Amino acid sequence: MTMTKEFEILDHTADVGIIAYGVDLKQAFANAAKGLFSLITNLGDVDEALHRDIDLTAADEESLLVDWLNELVYYFDAEGILFKRFEIIELNDTHLKARGYGEKADNTKHELKTGVKAATYHMLKIEKNNGYRLQVIFDI
CB of 67 to another protein, least distance (A): 7
Considering only residues 43, 62, 97, 131, which one is a binding residue for another protein as defined by CB under 8 A?
62
- Contacting another protein within 2-61 (CB under 8 A): 9, 11-16, 40, 58-59
Long-range contacts of 56-64 (CB under 8 A, 24+ apart): 56/95, 56/96, 56/97, 57/94, 57/95, 58/94, 58/95, 58/96, 59/94, 60/93, 60/94, 61/25, 61/93, 61/94, 61/126, 62/121, 62/124, 62/126, 64/91, 64/93, 64/94, 64/95, 64/96
User: Which stretches of the chain bind another protein, using CB under 8 A?
Assistant: 9, 11-16, 40, 58-59, 62-63, 66-67, 70, 73-74, 77-78, 80, 105, 107, 111-115, 117-124, 137, 139-140
